[in-house]
Amino acid sequence: MKLKNDTFLRACRREEVERTPVWIMRQAGRYLPDYMKVRRDHSFQEVCKTPELAAEVTIQPVEKIGVDAAILFADILTPAEGMGIDLAFSPGPVIAQPVRDRKGVEALRIPDPRESVPYVLDAIRLVRERLDGRVPLIGFAGAPFTMAAYLVEGKSKHGFPGIRSMLYRDPETADLLLGKIADMTAAYLAAQIEAGAQAVQLFESWAGLLAGREFERFALPHVKRIMEAIAPLGAPRIYYAGGGGALLHLLSDCGADVIGVDWRVPLGEAWKRIGQDMAIQGNLDPCALFSPADRLEAEVRTVLDGVAGRWGHIFNLGHGIQPDTPWENARLLVETVHKLSRWGVR
């Protein structure tokens, strides 16, 4: 089936587009009144595990905000349950028995996604059917280091000292853990693409916690392995490196087609460090969505100026949208990106 709007996929491939595509990390979520309506009657986990509900909230931002891509509604921790992790949300992830030692790592299973997350794959099929080619659907997973940060800590904790101390105290166990997460993730993303995801993003939200040497040693090889494993499936691959400004020069051969960058590095500079033969995604500060309307336009212009008319830019925030963002401003952002990036204007 032909897509009515394939600007996102074309930008991933650095092809020409009539206007810059835009989507918003965490675009399905609490800032949207429609999402909160669904959450009144259902827990976050229920929404994730009920294809009907997951499909509904996945499509909400396409209809309400006008984004150029949908992203599957789930969490980066969702597939950890199939590895044997007891997971709850309150609202962030809470793991009953964090993975702290060799025994804990050895006990982790590498599940078949068709058995462990059938609801995710069903949600993807349902979203594709309901989108009916309006925009493409992005699948996603957490990158191994970021996943490991949660599995070892058991919850969000500033700096995630649990995984970082494991890298020094017991690097062999850290390798085993990261490798198992990578194996699970490669199978998970492949299953998502086979079910209908037309691109995938690996969220390395905590890239910025690592020095270059540790990033190269513990994070990057696993990312590469996942990217290579799914390459034959042909779906564009995005690697989002949160806080990764100091690591950008290491990312040119991570195997992704697109690098997602946060707001701390101007895009022109980021592109220089990554290399011009990759596409780039980003990078408005999520808090810029609290600007008055005329100021927001100036902020969007600053991001687009950094791109300087090159092909291969996907507009996004540099991090997930804040739950208290006025939703109308998210819609204004999309309209503004489209208006300022039309052919002839660039």
**Interface with ligand CP3 (CB under 6 A):** 25-30, 39, 44, 71, 73, 75-77, 89, 91-93, 140, 156, 203, 205, 242, 320
CB of 96 to ligand CP3, least distance (A): 16
Q: Phi and psi (nearest 5°) for 3?
A: -75, 140
* Phi/psi at 239 (5° precision): -115, 115
Helix (H) or strand (E) holding 282: strand 279-284
For tokens 């980003």, the residue is 282
Catalytic residue, candidates 31, 35, 150, 240:
150
Cα–Cα distance measured from residue 12 to residue 68, given in angstroms and rounded to the nearest whole number: 12
The least CB distance from residue 214 to ligand CP3, in Å, is: 19
150 is catalytic: yes
Number of residue whose CB is nearest ligand CP3: 205
Nearer to ligand CP3 by C-beta: 79 or 93?
93
Structure tokens at 24: 């918003």
Q: Is 30 an annotated catalytic residue?
A: yes
**CB of 39 vs ligand CP3, minimal distance in Å:** 5
Active-site pick, 30, 100, 225, 301: 30
Gyration radius of the chain's alpha carbons? 19
Residue 301 is a catalytic residue: no
Whether 175 is catalytic: no
Query: Judged by CB, which is closer to ligand CP3: 27, or 325?
Result: 27
Strand partners of residue 93: 89
Whether 39 sits among the annotated catalytic residues: the reply is yes
Residue closer to ligand CP3 (CB basis): 38 or 340: 38
The least distance separating ligand CP3 from the CB of residue 5, rounded to whole angstroms, comes to 18
Which stretches does DSSP call E strand in 162-297? 199-204, 237-241, 258-261, 279-284
How far apart (Å, rounded) are the C-alpha atoms in residues 159 and 326?
29
CB-side exposure of 92: number of CA atoms within 13 Å?
7
Which residue's entry shows tokens 């020409």? Answer: 16
From the list 6, 68, 75, 262, the catalytic residue is 75
201/297 with CB nearer ligand CP3: 201
The residues annotated as belonging to the active site are 26, 30, 39, 75, 150
